[in-house]
Each structure stands twice: as C-alpha cells, then as structure tokens.
C-alpha cells in the first residue's frame, strides 16, 4: 500500500469537492482508511489537519476569484463551500489579514495553495500510530 499515493488521492478528492461540505470521515472513507489513522497520516505528510487543509484550499480559491472576477463576495463565499458570508469573512480575514473586499481592491500577491513542497515528508511514517 502506497500511503503517499492514497493521501494524494484524498487531496484530489478535496480539490474536486471543496464547494460541498467535507468532513474527515468523508475523505478517509474515500481512500478506505479509518478516520483516526487517516487524519494522523494526512497531517504527517502534508503538515495540515484535514479540516485546515480544506479551509485553506477554499480560501485560496476564494482569493483567486476575488482578484480575477467581479463576482459578488457572498456568491464567492457560498461557491467555495462556506455556510455564510460572515463565516467566510472571518476565516478569510484571519488567514489573509484583511477583509475580502479590501483584498479585492488591493489585489495583493498571495502564496499558492497547496504550497510548493507539500509532498515532502515532514516526519517518517515509522512513528505513525497504528
């Protein structure tokens, strides 16, 4: 079993379904892992919890849309998987340091997500809980 490949498949699943509600259970079921083992492996290989990865990917997609389109912020929030514009604005401001409307006006440079080098192991799998 190639664990890196299964985590990569999980990431592809997240990227394909980010606009829908996604739980750790959904992702782990997609790659046929127990939830707790999958969550631990995912964190070791990516450096992110599944929830944080999903949130950061959604926010990156939203940031891209803010810069590249005139789409309403509320529509971007819902289309990128957030349950409300308020939740989106709070999460966005926490990660990017400014509100979505300001981000759109400033059009700042921002880091890609997933980050380069994501697939470099941050620890060995020999220490993973079984």
Give the number of other CB atoms < 10 A from CB of residue 25.
Answer: 13
Residue 112, pLDDT score: 92
The band of 2, judged by pLDDT with boundaries at 50, 70 and 90, is confident
Compute the average pLDDT of residues 104-112. 95
The confidence score (pLDDT) of residue 122 equals: 46
Angle at CA of residue 130, ends 28 and 14, nearest 5°: 20
For residue 123, is it left (φ>0), alpha (ψ between -120 and 50) or beta? Answer: beta
Q: Looking at the predicted structure, is the pLDDT value of residue 80 above 50?
A: yes
DSSP 8-state secondary structure symbol assigned to residue 124 = -
Superfamily name with CATH number, domain 3-112:
Homeodomain-like (1.10.10.60)
Q: Which pLDDT score is estimated for 120? A: 58
User: Which of the four pLDDT bands, split at 50, 70 and 90, describes residue 125?
Assistant: very low
Sequence-ordered list of residues with C-beta below 8 angstroms from that of 26, at least 6 positions apart, any chain: 17
Instruction: Report the pLDDT averaged over residues 112-121.
Output: 78
Are the CB atoms for 84 and 77 separated by under 8 Å? yes
Cβ neighbors of 46 (< 8 A, separation 6 or more) are 7, 11, 53, 114, 118, 122
**Predicted confidence (pLDDT) per residue in 33-48, tens digit:** 999 999 999 999 999 9
CA dist 80 and 65 (Å) reads 10
Q: How confident is the model over 72-97, as a mean pLDDT?
A: 97
Question: What mean pLDDT is predicted for residues 26-39?
Answer: 96
Give the pLDDT band of residue 118 (cuts 50, 70, 90): confident
């Amino acid at each position: 079993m190639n664990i890196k490949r299964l985590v990569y498949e999980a990431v592809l699943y997240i990227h394909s379904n980010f606009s829908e509600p996604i739980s750790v259970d959904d992702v782990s079921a997609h790659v046929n892992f127990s939830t707790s083992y999958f969550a631990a492996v995912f964190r070791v290989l990516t450096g992110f919890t599944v929830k944080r990865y999903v949130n950061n990917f959604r926010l990156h997609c939203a940031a891209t849309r803010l810069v590249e389109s005139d789409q309403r912020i509320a529509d971007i929030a819902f289309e990128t998987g957030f349950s409300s514009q308020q939740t989106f604005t709070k999460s966005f401001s926490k990660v990017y340091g400014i509100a979505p409307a300001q981000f759109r006006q400033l059009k700042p440079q921002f880091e890609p997500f997933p980050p380069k080098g994501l697939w470099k192991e941050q620890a060995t799998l020999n220490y993973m809980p079984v």
